[in-house]
Amino acid sequence: MRRLPRLGSSATVAALPMSSTACLRTPAASLFKCEIALTSATQPHSVPRQRHQVWANRFQSQRRCLSSAPPPPASTPEKAVDGASDVDTQNIQLSASQSRRRLRARLPKTDLTIPRKQRTVPRPADIPDAEYVPAESGLGLEEVGGLEGWWDNPAHWGPSKNYVGFGLQEKVMDAALLQVLARKALVEAIALKDKFESKIKNYRRVDPTPAEFRMAELVRISSKEILVAEDGSPTMAQHDVYKTLKALSHRLPVAEGEVLPKPVGPEMTPEEAKELLESWDRNWKAASIEDPALRFYLVKRIQRLTGHVIPDAKLVGVRHMGGLLSVLVKPPKALKLAELITTKSLLPTLPNVKIYPRRVTPVDKEKMVGRWKLIQKELQERGLPVVGTEGYGAAVEKKWVTGN
Amino acid sequence: MGVKAVHRITTGRNGLGAFILQCKKMDFHYCDWAGSSKGMNGFIKSILPKFAAAHPQIEFTVSPRPSKHPVIIGHYINGRDKAICVRNLEPLQILKKVELLRDASGEKLKKVTKPVQSINESVRGIWSPYHGNGMRV
């Protein structure tokens, strides 16, 4: 919001209009004329006289009282030489093209598709064709080109502008695969804890690269032996810590501005994950994750690897890895009764039994006896809705008959 | 041309053995979500296969009816039907209801006061005051 100038003297007070709305209503041309010379304010003019001059647009000042826009150029004398004005226009055009070039040079390198330079049609006066009649209004003219909706087109946005989420976009839903990935996260967390203790800042070593979902790496890292102490704290052998840290060190932070590759899911099938899971003993699930730094890394890493965000409210009650897995791995959705009967082939083997997977509607019943097409045809002939009421209300006649 | 005997297809047993079950069809409706259908779902899974195998003359249909209590509807050869709501019932309780529907005639429930009922006309005919010798008062 533009501030109005401070009222310095009684003269300037008198020079201002009485209300702000009045000045908004004043035409811009008259506002520019409403300038008061600072020097004139110091002169012993009487207030009524100044006011009179202001209202008569004769009071000149260097101080702008209402508009921050520059004053309009003084009217060119009519006797100005035509040639000189042409030179001026050329200079202006040159400077405009230079400034455009400079602006383009200053633009940062981008993968956005920037619209081409706008071309304008020549003015009617510049067209040599004598028979050309310019249109008087734009009504009915076809609009060609234009920048409307330019940025709505996804093709005009570069790949760097695409959203790349931190977590895996497509969540891993298989229980065995989830457990393998969770164990991998735990092994990494233990290795980092062993190296950096609980300095949480140093845990930010792992950044997304597609390599971490490769089968060999998944097996290599997640199969490291986890030793659980009596108090539940998880540890690993030193050479395992070293190897894990070495694997992690390949994934140093990505350079700024580099487009991250979109992560794809793990290369392991659920059957392979199940086999791998069965090859481990269950002690690792008793590992305590009460250390906040370890827990934070684990949750962040699980989000990255599986796409599952574990809510804080559930995380509060989790003390060990098994608890975390019970939050992470949800039981499979129960089968519907119709699906269960069909999969177990309990009833469909009998010839006198029929199973419907969804509700049998009145239309279905008509179809079963072959009456539906006739009903449809008769309703359409009468202009009545085939399905639904189509805005027709309840029968009024019923009220008349029952007297309600 | 000689007279050709008609082949006997059925054995006449003087009416015995000609019984036709009145219930021709049974619909089982359940809900996958609601707790009142728990027993019905168990019945359909465990008992219905045996019951349906034991009654090949009855047509069985099983279909969901979401957000509604479980219902068994029996259809009879007289064109009538009979529905029983089996909400919150155990599978064995539901079996009793199914047997009831199977054994029902499909007629409206009537109070039976006489031990014997017949659709045959009376041998003596309907009594009329204008016929016979009349009665002296």
Cβ of A347 within 8 Å of Cβ of B62? The answer is: yes
Which tokens is A127 given?
């067209």
Per-residue pLDDT of chain A (404 residues; tens, 9 = 90+): 444 444 333 433 333 333 333 333 333 333 333 333 333 334 444 455 555 554 554 544 444 433 333 444 444 444 444 444 555 556 666 677 887 778 777 777 788 888 887 778 888 888 888 898 888 888 888 877 778 888 999 889 988 888 777 788 889 999 999 999 999 889 888 888 887 765 555 555 444 444 566 777 778 778 888 888 888 888 888 878 888 777 776 554 455 555 555 566 778 888 988 998 999 888 899 999 998 888 988 898 899 888 999 999 999 999 999 999 999 998 888 899 999 988 887 777 889 999 999 999 999 999 999 999 999 999 999 998 999 888 888 888 888 888 87
Domain residue extents for chain B: 23-58+67-103
Cβ of B61 within 8 Å of Cβ of A337? The answer is: no
Q: Give ipTM to 2 decimals.
A: 0.77
pLDDT at position A23 is 37
Min distance A175 CA to chain B CA atoms (Å): 24
Interface contact B26, partner A, CB < 8 A: no
What would the CATH number be for the domain defined by B23-58+67-103? Answer: 3.40.30.10
Instruction: Provide, as residue numbers in chain A, all residues whose Cβ is less than 8 Å from the Cβ of B31.
Output: none
Which tokens is A118 given?
């706008």
Residue A167: Cβ-neighbour burial (10 angstroms; 0-12, 13-18, 19+): middle
Interface contact A350, partner B, CB < 8 A: yes
pLDDT at position A388 is 87
pLDDT at position B15 is 59
Instruction: Provide, as residue numbers in chain A, all residues whose Cβ is less than 8 Å from the Cβ of B32.
Output: 336-337
Min distance A375 CA to chain B CA atoms (Å): 22
How many other CB atoms are there within 10 angstroms of residue A91's CB atom?
A: 10
Which pLDDT band, with edges at 50, 70 and 90, does B37 fall under? very high
CA dihedral defined by B100, B102, B106, B110, rounded to 10 degrees?
Answer: -30
Which tokens is A263 given?
């992560």
Cβ of B62 within 8 Å of Cβ of A356? The answer is: yes
CB A237 within 8 A of CB A231: no
Length of chain A as a residue count: 404
User: Which strand (E) or helix (H) includes residue B73?
Assistant: strand B71-76
Cβ of B63 within 8 Å of Cβ of A359? The answer is: yes
Cβ of A352 within 8 Å of Cβ of B48? The answer is: no
Interface contact A357, partner B, CB < 8 A: yes
The residues in A 254-313 lying below 8 A from B, measured between CB atoms, are none
- How many pairs of residues across A and B have Cβ atoms under 8 Å apart? 59
Interface contact A368, partner B, CB < 8 A: no
- Using DSSP, state whether A151 is helix, strand or coil: coil
Interface contact B66, partner A, CB < 8 A: yes
The residues in B 100-129 lying below 8 A from A, measured between CB atoms, are none
